[in-house]
Structure 1
């Protein structure tokens, strides 16, 4: 894999592999922390504003849309049970700050800067430059009423505010906030509209984890940049350049530049002691498989421990998987690194994901001080004493709902997501049918009841009730999808591989899904999560409790391009006393006895 030559930027034409930028030149930027209750405030205003910010010191400033003038936005730090009201105020000025271009997939345009409109097959993506500042904020992972959740259609224009109330009635966990506007989430988030939100509690406090300057958010993104047509130099202009399959779908965005906390390839000076990093993949679609490596690119992952996931603390510290930690878009990890044995050395966070292609694998560099430092922290054997593993027939209540979802590719090769209802009758024939030879029971037949956001709502769950979501990725190939379910934290119950018989042209299975084999879960996948990777040819089952809010929520693929292009569906959580009076289409879930 091509490495980046560390040399100053040039004023001449820019070529690979480093596009004229020096690796690890700039210090990591740490977003400011907002702790409203320490100011004795339970209500704050966060403006969305245009900001000019350098993504690298060798670049001109980039025009961004930001929360409170920062990319990433400020880290909001609250305690469990402390209600917070936020007015998200749209004060964005100026034109949409992206140049959006498409090019032929065979030419791999995503790996190069510059709009390249002089090349055959390249064109501007119509309409992106004309987009207004139309925004709505979703606090990802929050248990809140639907009116505060950031419903995609409820975006507002400049001069309006979104008033939200977050009860924070959930354990310590890392949330994040980002734009969720219907059909343009991929573009709005790409402008810079994302930030972290941390909830803390007494259980976390008792661990006396590294804190203050030794607890640092790491928000990972990727971007592309335009070039000057005369000189070839990078301009700092954000470039949304994507490949397009002839007569087929647009491929989701990935870029050649990796940013951590809004800085391209930064460095961080650290003491020779334990640090806590709150890791977030805020990229549109890129997966990262992360390893900590030394100067010779040899993994030193034994210095790393995972202590938490999207939904809070793990029961015990977990080692990184042998091949590295795969982090899908929207996933968060609570990571401890012990730098004590690396005095005076340099380490790197490096991406080994096979989908990386020719893009630079390094994300950032850690520069460890050569002096010994007193460190009171000792890694405990137990992290969360409140954690309970969900198991059918014991800790998971027997009386729960089942939801069935299919992920697939349509006849044009475009990814889709279907709500399914189970039929009590044999296969009726036609499109939209999924059959499954359930290893735990009889043949099951499902019918699609909705596949785009504005189709009929088919999933209704009683408030405070447990539901098991069964997600079937029936495509024969295609991408893995990180599926996010709003309102709840869940645990993965199992992964099962199967032989898929889904026919894209016929839009149905031609024989029941069969040949099921269990795929072992990673230890961290047994933790509480709100986003789960579903690979092709797999059945992933997750269980969560739907309390803390009511109303109409969303679930979707968190590859933002897929979400915007149809892989998002609604579901309703309502009081059971109201549900019996509600006339709605049947199906979508059933109650187990």
Structure 2
């Protein structure tokens, strides 16, 4: 599916330094569970954001964090499908941001190491970060709710304020998560600890009798960096170290310490039976490529079955991809692991991402499973069918004919900085002005002969004019074309919908970075087989350079102005986020806007 999982694994590369911390010393931390319940109407809860201290490793001093209800990560909120929940997200955080940010050039010293490196040429403190107040707004990622409840980035509150939200929960069973979404500083607020899981349950899931209780465990992955004192000892203070290419853009944060549920390299005692793990990548930018290995380093992925994605259950269990499971920031996966064949053994969840190689490589192991050497009764049987309600979305059959089309370009601008444009399609024959900046041409292979489509940029920054207008309860196909010649993969998240991938195609780009446009139509596409799980319901999808990814989703359950963005949080804060509007179809005759969407000038409809 992605460049990440087609390269060779790095299981046999030398072990990197652990900076004085013992691997697998501490038990995993399981977040507490909040189960709101009301027989007479919407349940109501208050979730407080507070300043607290957390022990990331028993060999470290305590770390000051911001956390929901004082837990790092926050409590797991469990609700039933169709039962609304009202949440007062209350900001009770004292003081200013509890992290130090530094910036320095990529050079001869690996950037994935602790300490500020202010003794190195070019390294400097990022001024103003430690003075930032607690300015927060919560987004329930994956929720279908009205825009006023969605966590609009500008609608953050200071300490003493509350954000009042209502979540209808009219969705199938799925793993959502909640996190901060404040404008310009999401990467910093999330880094301080403002994340937590939110699980939706329904009758279809109940009927499967999946492992539950102590045998259903959230695994929230994240990477962090820590400061050091003058002697080089770790202090426990969060450090946000950002490298940059001299003369070029900043590189998104990655850190040398991987945490699972807020603990660096934890262990977990498990019975020799089936477990269900609700996996979330809550990192700022790190991709993981996960495998289960035994004490000899031999992959044991045959014990793992993938049963769900961001938007709920798959139609049937699936093995992991041959090279491991790639998990981008914000993606969630529902995994079953059968430990019955490993009595008395130890296994590791490890990251074999080939990007985690070379001088800046960090410890690949994430956690250790210690399987008890005793037999436990386990009545669970892996079902052949999971979701009987699942329908595969395809053009010409299950995708409604009146769907809309949205076109988005991912690119590098003249300064080498990632950008995201929403596009309006020009009328047939109109190819823009010669040399015009912001023009993307694509020769669509879906028609015979291929149709030349010419697009003009509507907006590139969050506060540019809105370019995408969709109809409530209507379907839309989003075409995301990564035209950059190189650069990073982007996990693209669209609010208010679950979608399915229709196709993934590669191409040789004709985008001229200096001119800010394609110099000839992009053509010669090659289909890339989708991973089986990409046919499931998702809300975040990886788009690699030189790829066109098309997804289809329905936009119901709420109206108003929403966001879509790259979920590399550094990119989101630096401009890769755009708005879109969902409104009732009856409103169309009265609208005066211009921009994308089939009902607006230059839009496309199939």
Q: Into which bin does the TM-score normalised by the smaller protein fall?
A: over 0.9
Which of 511, 522, 526 is matched with 1:517 structurally? 526
Q: Counterpart in 1 of 2:396?
A: 393
Give the Cα–Cα distance (whole angstroms) in 1 for the partners of residues 91 and 13 of structure 2. Answer: 42
Q: Counterpart in 1 of 2:319?
A: 319
Matches within 5 A, 1:273-288: 273-288=273-288
Q: Counterpart in 2 of 1:124?
A: 125
Which of 420, 432, 436 is matched with 2:442 structurally? 436
Would you say 1:545 and 2:548 are equivalent positions?
no
Contact 2:270 2:372 in 1 (8 A): yes
Give the Cα–Cα distance (whole angstroms) in 1 for the partners of residues 111 and 88 of structure 2. Answer: 36
Give the Cα–Cα distance (whole angstroms) in 1 for the partners of residues 96 and 550 of structure 2. Answer: 43
- Deviation for aligned residue 1:95: 2.2
Q: Counterpart in 1 of 2:8?
A: none
Give the Cα–Cα distance (whole angstroms) in 1 for the partners of residues 584 and 503 of structure 2. Answer: 29
Would you say 1:413 and 2:416 are equivalent positions?
yes
Contact 1:36 1:78 in 2 (8 A): yes
Give the Cα–Cα distance (whole angstroms) in 1 for the partners of residues 595 and 582 of structure 2. Answer: 15
Cα 1:217–1:491 shift into 2, 3 Å:
same
- Deviation for aligned residue 1:515: 1.2
Cα 1:449–1:479 shift into 2, 3 Å:
same
1:499 alignment partner, SS class: coil
Would you say 1:232 and 2:242 are equivalent positions?
no
Give the Cα–Cα distance (whole angstroms) in 2 for the partners of residues 586 and 528 of structure 1. Answer: 28
Give the Cα–Cα distance (whole angstroms) in 2 for the partners of residues 140 and 426 of structure 1. Answer: 38
Would you say 1:99 and 2:112 are equivalent positions?
no
- Deviation for aligned residue 1:591: 5.4
Q: Counterpart in 1 of 2:487?
A: 478
Contact 1:104 1:244 in 2 (8 A): yes
Contact 1:103 1:109 in 2 (8 A): no
1:153 alignment partner, SS class: coil
Would you say 1:426 and 2:431 are equivalent positions?
yes
Residue deviations 1:360-409 (CA, integer Å, cap 9, x gap): 00000000001111100000000100000001111111110000000000
- Deviation for aligned residue 1:503: 0.6
Give the Cα–Cα distance (whole angstroms) in 2 for the partners of residues 108 and 261 of structure 1. Answer: 29
Q: Counterpart in 2 of 1:13?
A: none
Give the Cα–Cα distance (whole angstroms) in 2 for the partners of residues 588 and 166 of structure 1. Answer: 27
Residue deviations 1:308-348 (CA, integer Å, cap 9, x gap): 00000000001000100000000000000000000000000
Structure 2, unmatched stretches of 5+, are 1-11
Q: Counterpart in 1 of 2:180?
A: 179
Give the Cα–Cα distance (whole angstroms) in 1 for the partners of residues 518 and 106 of structure 2. Answer: 29
Q: Counterpart in 1 of 2:80?
A: 79
- Deviation for aligned residue 1:129: 1.4
Contact 2:458 2:595 in 1 (8 A): no
Q: Counterpart in 2 of 1:113?
A: 114
Give the Cα–Cα distance (whole angstroms) in 2 for the partners of residues 328 and 260 of structure 1. Answer: 15
TM-score, reference length from structure 2: 0.94
Superposition misfits of 4+ residues, deviation over 4 angstroms: 1-4, 38-41
- Deviation for aligned residue 1:247: 1.9
Q: Which moved more, 1:244-253 or 1:477-486?
A: 244-253
1:73 alignment partner, SS class: coil
Give the Cα–Cα distance (whole angstroms) in 2 for the partners of residues 514 and 395 of structure 1. Answer: 27
- Deviation for aligned residue 1:39: 9.6
Q: Counterpart in 2 of 1:271?
A: 271
Q: Counterpart in 2 of 1:306?
A: 306
Q: Which moved more, 1:487-496 or 1:100-109?
A: 100-109
Give the Cα–Cα distance (whole angstroms) in 1 for the partners of residues 28 and 415 of structure 2. Answer: 43
Would you say 1:29 and 2:34 are equivalent positions?
no
TM-score, reference length from structure 1: 0.97
Would you say 1:585 and 2:588 are equivalent positions?
no
Residue deviations 1:265-286 (CA, integer Å, cap 9, x gap): 0000000000000000000000
Q: Counterpart in 1 of 2:9?
A: none
1:255 alignment partner, SS class: coil
- Deviation for aligned residue 1:356: 1.3
- Tell me how many residue pairs correspond in the alignment: 581
Which of 518, 537, 544 is matched with 1:535 structurally? 544
Contact 2:496 2:556 in 1 (8 A): yes
Structure 1, unmatched stretches of 5+, are 5-15
Matches within 5 A, 1:28-47: 28-37=28-37, 42-47=43-48
Give the Cα–Cα distance (whole angstroms) in 2 for the partners of residues 409 and 423 of structure 1. Answer: 23
Contact 1:405 1:471 in 2 (8 A): yes
Give the Cα–Cα distance (whole angstroms) in 2 for the partners of residues 319 and 550 of structure 1. Answer: 38
Would you say 1:566 and 2:569 are equivalent positions?
no
Q: Which moved more, 1:54-63 or 1:242-251?
A: 242-251
Contact 2:50 2:91 in 1 (8 A): yes
Q: Counterpart in 2 of 1:445?
A: 454
- Deviation for aligned residue 1:437: 1.2
Give the Cα–Cα distance (whole angstroms) in 2 for the partners of residues 426 and 21 of structure 1. Answer: 59
Which of 373, 377, 385 is matched with 1:382 structurally? 385
Cα 1:591–1:500 shift into 2, 3 Å:
closer
Residue deviations 1:455-483 (CA, integer Å, cap 9, x gap): 00010001000000000000001000000
- Deviation for aligned residue 1:587: 3.1
Would you say 1:342 and 2:342 are equivalent positions?
yes
